[in-house]
């Protein structure tokens, strides 16, 4: 049966679709191809996916309930991976309305259609940014997530709450994945690695926030995809040990689960930049900046639950991952106008 992947022309969605197709799954892809960043990059990803006979694409905005329902009606979809979202913590500070449309209304439409068409499992992208003002590290799924620092993480927290409501009301199995700082080939131009690479090659300075005193659990996209597929293969089940007196936020009496997907090896930003300099064979000019509003200094993922339940631990280190990105970047832009 076909798997529905929303955000199919996006960074993670593209990689997930490609892996599913290579594993001989039929994939129905949905994306609205918005202009948040370069549409040419999205179309290039899409062209690769459409070269596979098992891929069917619909240009649909998940905030449009009628159009989304039509996709469900044309295909016997049994599994959904919702990766469609308006991304970006910083962008959400200036453009909050778009996050409600795409991330909240759109996800509600996914849940409604999945319930109506008896989907067996909904997997959806949450974000490490839901941990917000928390300072305890590493971040675990049982930590509270009640203090978001911008509308983007607030919308992702809302996704988790909505998923639980549908899991409880309709026994719809829902699994939320808190992704930690994803990077790799075909990445988004608004993300640090892409911007840094472009600037260094052009001999332009790169903006380094919080004077470089940042730590991120950089996670290579292939590890994200593998964790997502493993989650997809294990539909959420009610936790028989869940206790309403001491509720576990990562599980439930309903078919509901939350997992961190991070590398588990947090890397100082300056080490990340050093890995990029080595891959490019060129030094960066650093423009040290203060901390940006809505940002947090450190993210470190506790992945024990992912390892225990799904038998997976991300493995690709920053040196190798950055090298692979640079190889893709140089190859892609040797054939395309920058």
Which residues have a catalytic role annotated? Answer: 152
Residue 212 DSSP symbol: G
What angle in degrees, to the nearest 10, is found between the helix axes of 221-232 and 11-22?
A: 60
HEC assignment per residue over 36-75: CCCHHHHHHHHHHHHCCCCEEEEECCCCCHHHHHHHHHHC
CA separation for the pair 239, 249 (Å, rounded): 11
CA separation for the pair 159, 139 (Å, rounded): 19
CA separation for the pair 222, 201 (Å, rounded): 25
**Cα Rg of the chain (Å, integer):** 19
CA separation for the pair 186, 238 (Å, rounded): 37
CA separation for the pair 26, 303 (Å, rounded): 30
Backbone angles phi, psi at 177, to 5 degrees: -115, 115
Using DSSP, state whether 270 is helix, strand or coil.
helix
CA separation for the pair 39, 133 (Å, rounded): 34
Going by C-alpha positions, the residue among 101, 27, 29 that lies closest to residue 65 is 101
Residue 94: partners with Cβ closer than 8 Å, 6 or more residues away: none
């Amino acid at each position: 049966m076909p798997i529905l992947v929303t955000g199919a022309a996006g960074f993670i969605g593209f990689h997930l679709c490609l892996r599913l197709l290579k594993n001989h799954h039929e994939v129905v892809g949905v994306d609205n191809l918005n202009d948040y960043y370069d549409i040419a990059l999205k179309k290039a990803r899409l062209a690769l996916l459409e070269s596979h006979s098992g891929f069917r694409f619909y240009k649909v905005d998940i905030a449009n309930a009628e159009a989304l329902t039509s996709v469900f009606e044309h295909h016997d979809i049994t599994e959904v991976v919702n990766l469609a979202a308006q991304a970006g913590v910083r962008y959400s500070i200036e453009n909050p309305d778009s996050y409600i449309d795409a991330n909240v209304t759109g996800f509600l439409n996914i849940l409604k259609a999945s319930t109506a068409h008896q989907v067996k499992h909904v997997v959806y992208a949450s974000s490490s940014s839901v941990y917000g003002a928390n300072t305890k590290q590493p971040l675990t799924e049982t930590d509270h997530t009640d203090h978001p620092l911008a509308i983007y993480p607030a919308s992702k927290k809302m996704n988790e709450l909505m998923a639980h409501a549908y899991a409880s009301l309709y026994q719809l199995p829902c699994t939320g994945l808190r992704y930690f700082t994803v990077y790799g080939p075909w990445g988004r131009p608004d993300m640090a690695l892409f911007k840094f690479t472009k600037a260094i090659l052009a001999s332009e300075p790169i903006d380094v926030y919080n004077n470089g005193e940042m730590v991120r659990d950089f996670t290579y996209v292939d590890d994200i995809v593998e964790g997502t597929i493993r989650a997809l293969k294990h539909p959420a089940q009610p936790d028989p040990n869940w206790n309403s007196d001491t509720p576990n936020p990562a599980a439930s009496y309903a078919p509901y689960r939350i997992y961190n997907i991070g590398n588990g090896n947090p890397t100082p930003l300056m080490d990340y930049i050093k890995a990029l300099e080595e891959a490019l064979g060129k030094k960066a000019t650093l423009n040290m900046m203060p901390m940006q509003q809505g940002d947090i200094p450190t993210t470190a993922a506790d992945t024990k639950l992912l390892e225990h339940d799904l038998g997976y631990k991300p493995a690709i280190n920053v040196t190798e991952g950055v090298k692979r990105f640079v190889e893709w970047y140089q190859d892609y832009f040797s054939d395309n106008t920058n």
